Amino acid sequence: MVSKNDPSQFHRSSYHHMGDKGSTRMVRVGSRSFPVYPLVIVCLVLLNIILSLAAVVVGINCGSITDFPQNDLMPQVLKTEVEQLQRATSETAHDRQAQEDFVKEHMSNQQIKLQLQSNKTYNDELQKQLELLQAERAALQSNTSDIVESCGLCMPGWFLSNTSCYFYGKRQSTIGKNWTTSREDCINRGADLAVFDTAEEHIMVFEHLPKVKWGTYLWGIGGAWIGLTDHQREGTWMWINNVTLNYTGFWMGGEPNNYGSGEHCVGVMITDKGLKSLFDARCESQREWLCEKKLS
């Protein structure tokens, strides 16, 4: 749009008027006449310059328009929508990040859980093995102490006194054995119910028997059977080797009393009453028992 015409061709007269004598080669301006062609050229140049100026002005205005912040030209509704869109976009990104974080954390938690489970299984296994080893050690220690105590002469679980090994049969929970089954148990162990040949033997065996406090035991089930009865003759106490009890001073107070429907078997019970430890009782009653096996 900018004219390339030389402005030097411009003539100072900016006002012109075409007369009705357009057909002639001359035109009148005021009192003066000018030739037509140069005048047309001048007018065109003038118009060109005006248009150029207008173009420049419009261009400046347009330029300054485009420089305006677009936001100011946006309708409020559009602006709000854009803002919402921007917010939504950023929120979506935020949500996605949060979701990724959650998935990551969940997976890590799962891994820890699995590890914990496997560790727990492993620990349980170790615990079981430990308990097994402890039980084994306890058994070995018990067997060892028994063997050491009996100088290797008695079987594990038996105790040595002078020239015999003794086994103390403990009741299983509340169930003991009657005199007959007690004797059978001793025979099954290659022994028999205990026979105290002398008062000395009786006293020595005392040391190994469980002590009970006077008055805390139950008469029906207390004490341990030994190999002494009056089966053959009432009131004559005879050991199972057919030797009659020939030492005195070991019956508990008031014993033997052949109480009730008859008491023909003898038990031993160590209380705080010194040597007085024998009593007669119903052979059917369930008690603990004492076996003896002489060293050969």
Ligand X SMILES: *[C@@H]1O[C@H](CO)[C@@H](O)[C@H](O)[C@H]1NC(C)=O
- In the complex, which residues of this chain contact ligand X (CB under 6 A)? 112, 115-116, 119, 139-140, 143, 155-157, 162-163, 178, 180-181, 197-198, 200-201, 241-243, 246-247, 283-284
Q: In terms of CB distance, is 78 or 153 closer to ligand X?
A: 153
Q: How far is the CB of 236 from Ca ion (least distance, A)?
A: 15
263 binds, among ligand X, Ca ion, none (CB under 5 to 8 A by kind): Ca ion
Q: How far is the CB of 271 from ligand X (least distance, A)?
A: 23
Comparing CA positions, the residue from 150, 143, 185 lying closest to residue 165 is 150
Q: In terms of CB distance, is 42 or 287 closer to ligand X?
A: 287
Q: How far is the CB of 190 from ligand X (least distance, A)?
A: 13
201 binds, among ligand X, Ca ion, none (CB under 5 to 8 A by kind): ligand X
Of all residues in the shown chain, the one whose CB is closest to Ca ion is 280
Q: In terms of CB distance, is 127 or 232 closer to Ca ion?
A: 232
Q: How far is the CB of 254 from Ca ion (least distance, A)?
A: 8
> Residues touching Ca ion: how many (CB under 5 A)?
6
Q: In terms of CB distance, is 42 or 166 closer to ligand X?
A: 166
Residue 223-262 contact track with Ca ion, rule CB under 5 A, x = bound = --------------------------------x-x-x---
Q: How far is the CB of 286 from Ca ion (least distance, A)?
A: 16
101 binds, among Ca ion, ligand X, none (CB under 5 to 8 A by kind): none
Backbone angles phi, psi at 11, to 5 degrees: -105, 145
Q: In terms of CB distance, is 48 or 271 closer to Ca ion?
A: 271
Q: In terms of CB distance, is 150 or 285 closer to Ca ion?
A: 285
3-state per-residue secondary structure call for the chain: CCCCCCHHHCCCCCCCCCCCCCCCCEEEECCEEEEHHHHHHHHHHHHHHHHHHHHHHHHHHHHHHHHCCHHHHCCHHHHHHHHHHHHHHHHHHHHHHHHHHHHHHHHHHHHHHHHHHHHHHHHHHHHHHHHHHHHHHHHHHHHHHHHHHCCCCCCCCCEEECCEEEEEECCECCECECHHHHHHHHHHCCCEECCCCCHHHHHHHHCCCCECCCCCCCCCCCCEEEEEECCCCCCCCEECCCCECCCCCCECCCCCCCCCCCCCEEEECECCCCCCCEEEECCCCCEEEEEEEECC
**Planar angle of CA 194, 196, 200, nearest 5 degrees:** 140
Residue 210: asked if its preceding bond is cis (omega within 30°), the reply is no
Q: In terms of CB distance, is 280 or 288 closer to Ca ion?
A: 280
Contact 192, 184 (CB under 8 A): no
Q: Does 280 bind Ca ion (CB under 5 A)?
A: yes
Q: How far is the CB of 168 from Ca ion (least distance, A)?
A: 21
Q: How far is the CB of 283 from ligand X (least distance, A)?
A: 5
Binding interface with Ca ion (CB under 5 A): 255, 257, 259, 263, 279-280
